[in-house]
Amino acid sequence: MRSDDIKHGIERAPHRALLKALGVVDKDLGKPFIAIVNSYATVVPGHVHLDQVADAVKVGILSAGGVPFEFNTIAVCDGLAMGHEGMRYSLPSRELIADSIEVMVQAHRFDGMVLVTNCDKITPGMLLAAARLNVPALVVTGGPMLSGTYKGKRVGTASVFEAVGEFVAGKMSEEELKTLEDVACPSCGSCNGMFTANTMACVTEALGMSLPGCATPSAVGAARLRIAKNSGERVVELVTEDLKPLDILTLDAFENAIMVDMALGGSTNTVLHLLALAREADVSLPLALFDTLSRKVSHLCNMVPSGPYTMEDLDSAGGIPALMKEVSSFLHLNAITVAGKTVGENIEQAVVLDANVVRPVSNPVHPEGGIAILEGNLAPKGAVVKATAISSEMLVHVGPAKVFDSEEEAMEAIMNKKIREGDVIVIRYEGPKGGPGMREMLSPTATITGMGLAESVALVTDGRFSGATRGPCIGHISPEAADSGPIAIIKSGDLIEIDVPRRRLNVKLSNKELETRLKLLKPKQPKIRRGYLARYSHLVQPAHLGSVLEKPR
């Protein structure tokens, strides 16, 4: 065992003395030492209950004959960070989380680890650490919050963001907005729809890195604690079996995860995170594969924000095992999982309990999967869009650009009603390098939706979007403006052509005009010159590579 490095031998007497200061007894020295990596924080609704989840994991570890040790990572709440400078830190936090776990696990020689997580960048950061460290590990996600109810309809965080637009458009009073605000988030947990946090929980289960049935039970249900306890027991077995993350994180596993993501109609952010995870696992995963699999696997779950169903509905319908059973003809059923069983064995007894929520392959919500990859002279290295969240009228659109060099400039124009039907809002210098940090932009997209413009206005950016975004919103444009990508030379009034069925994104300019403008482009000075974001901006790779940090040469 790795922990023998701090437990055995005369020369380790000082180490044993320090362990005994923690309450470790002599008979514990022959047992596996298991890290519980917990992102518990009282500032994040998705994480405020993770102390209880971690306690259940401890019980499982102890009952299986392991010794649990707990430490924490940071956690950013994307909802609270949205729409201001704080959002610059969200995506970069993924790398800090992975690095901090590496430091703690390597320094203290743990034999295995349970990653207790939730929310947008924390789960991916923990997966990156699992791949990098390659010690026996599994993930326990914290579960979704319950939905709120407003005027007889289910609501959540996204409802409030969109309500801001309704208020601006005069469709909602300030008193109504306040009432919605009070009821939208009635419990702890990740936000209630198929946003990034819940998409990543589902993707983690589909990858085989959490136990079957982990992703969908609510944060406040007893099932969440039972899963946590079972996971604590299972990690000790993983150490005995020497089953490691890189045994699980194969190309087959990534393809399974992408196909489940496509069937769910999940967040575009999963593209960034799976690209980054594959890079950490040394698996070749080209951006184009997402589009290939999207054309193969239909969209089966009509989930919030683009549909009516919430995570509670998906859980009641049988969760991810049921969905995987429905698409099993496409999956790699021999892929191994942390359960010690193959995907096929895990889903053998799964049953779809509500065919309205998990539609049959023969009757999909959309014939293609949730995410499309676009290319063209505006995005030579690709761009990402949630195709299933776009109305049929906006899948093909040509409109004049309204260009902004920051989210704040765009938001000011939207709030002052300077955006007209048919416009294509271009927000640039918000990429991983130029942002820096590749901010999510739920505020402008939700406000546009609330104002009733989602059927007539498109938005393209080198930044990214929240999983709660819906409508013709195209992100991850690569190369970004800060890397002298074509988006940097777009002018207001230029015609932008969007063709999702043909996977094209172009600006209607001649090659000669594009070349001339690019030659005249003057690089912008970095927005931030000190601290973590300055280092991140210097090292971060483009979005089509997962916005990972450059590896040492």
Give which of 289, 296, 210, 211 is closest to 251, Cα–Cα: 289
Contacts of 397 (CB under 8 A, 6+ apart): 424, 458, 472, 497, 498
| Residue 307, token pair as written in the block | 């549909």
- Per the residue annotation, which of 267, 466, 537, 547 is the catalytic one? 466
SS3 50: helix
**Residue among 151, 185, 158 at smallest CA distance from 46:** 185
Let me know: does 487 contact 425? Beta carbons within 8 Å.
no
* Phi and psi, residue 27, nearest 5°: -70, -20
What's the chain's length in residues?
553
Catalogue the long-range contacts made by 506-512 (C-beta closer than 8 Å, 24 or more residues apart).
506/376, 506/377, 506/378, 507/377, 507/378, 507/401, 508/398, 509/377, 511/377
Please report the beta strands in 354-511, taking only residues with DSSP state E, as ranges in sequence order: 371-376, 379-386, 396-404, 424-427, 458-461, 473-475, 495-499, 504-507
Task: Say if residues 98 and 129 touch (Cβ distance below 8 Å).
Answer: yes
Whole-angstrom distance, CA of residue 543 vs CA of residue 270: 12
What span, in angstroms and rounded, lies between the C-alpha atoms of 256 and 467? 20
- Strand partners for 138: 114
Say if CB 209 and CB 129 are below 8 A apart.
no
Angstrom distance (rounded) from CA 356 to CA 41 = 36
Instruction: Tell me the C-alpha distance between 370 and 268, whole Å.
Output: 9
Give the burial string for 511-522 (b: 16+ CB within 10 Å, else e).
eeebeebeeeee
Q: How far apart are CA 329 and CA 111, in angstroms?
A: 36
Q: Does 328 participate in catalysis according to the annotation? A: no
Is-contact 128 277, C-beta < 8 A? yes
Annotated catalytic sites, by residue? 466
